[in-house]
Structure 1
Amino acid sequence: MLFVLLTALLLLLGACSNANEENTENSESTDTENTEETKDNMEGMDHSNMDMSGSGEIPEDLEEAASPTYEVGSKAIIESDHMPGMNGAEATIAGAYDTTVYTISYTPTTGGERVEDHKWVIHEELEGAGEEPFKPGEEVTVNAEHMEGMDGATAEVDSAEQTIVYMVDFTTTTDSKEVKNHKWVTESELSPAE
């Protein structure tokens, strides 16, 4: 009788052990997949919820660039990977503006993980923007909806640069999706189209 009970107990413990090993393997597999997905999202930031196309509306006080390198209507190659399908795409310049561009970090108003070093918001898209540009480390409120949960978010300025920014139209290199009035690409992120 003791032998039967001992055998039953060992079988039960063995079954539990196998279930735990399977759960551990499933957990490790999921963790690996999540890590790879996170890595993919971190390369050039996660823009899965970014509105690539825009209305073409610009802030009232944004000034057109007097002598941009890339004139409105001209072609240029995007040398930036803000999102999949952008790098290497041929763009048509839809607008060129003199401003200060910022990279910012913020927590979306809709919840979720903090977005680090988002490129780009412009001076005119920040609440209370005066004549002087904001400095790295300053806290600002964003008045732009480039990504879900961005509008109204409190952000920290990571970097600031006075330059010309472009609004561009392009077709993604990954899935041939047409993007209209994409905001923003800086002058240094464009190269001449051949």
Structure 2
Amino acid sequence: MLIYSKDFLKRLRSWTTKHNIHLIADEIMTGFGRTGLPFAHQHAGIEPDFVCLAKGLTGGWLPMSAVLTTNKIYNLFYADFEDNKSFLHSHTHSGNTLAAAVALECLKVLEEENIYSGVDLMEPVLYELMLDVAQKTKRLTNIRNIGAIVAADLVLDKNQQAGRYGYKVFQEAIKLGAFLRPLGNTIYWLPPLNTHKNVLLQLNDITIHAINQAFNH
């Protein structure tokens, strides 16, 4: 799990613009407050040509996705049918009124309950708790975080390089009630954006126990 710097994103936007290449921002996981702003690309002050959205759009309650684009691109396809330039697209699950209603309520909650501000407060807490895990287990390195995302890599001995220790940590955490789905040997937390600190403390304890158990077996 990589967290791109503002400088990299700005230079990427500049390069794609120079070479007339569309920049697509995949905000399916990061969109709607996960990084502390509505969209992650806003941290760099850039405007992509396309933004892919899902997950947070309905708070995970119902499947729904959307693609945003610029007026310039939209107008390339906006015309009367007879002009044969329309972008015709439909699929089986389009027009889901229930999902749309849930999405509208989720957007309202994000604003009315100041979720974005809460994520800003959660960011340093997540970092400190993951750092605590690293210090107590001696098995984590390269801690990185932004908003309500924090990740770290497991430290493996030479004779452990081929082992699936991330999966072992996952198995131990499940027994204690936490779903720590690993990315290889990278451990990460993506708690709900309105998670209380006492729940994060529980997650901290479970992660420490799971790592210790995984490496002691």
Class of the TM-score when normalised by the shorter of the 2 chains: under 0.3
Name the structure where strand makes up a greater proportion of residues. 1
The TM-score normalised by the length of structure 2 is 0.19
Rg comparison, structure with higher value: 1
Name the structure where helix makes up a greater proportion of residues. 2
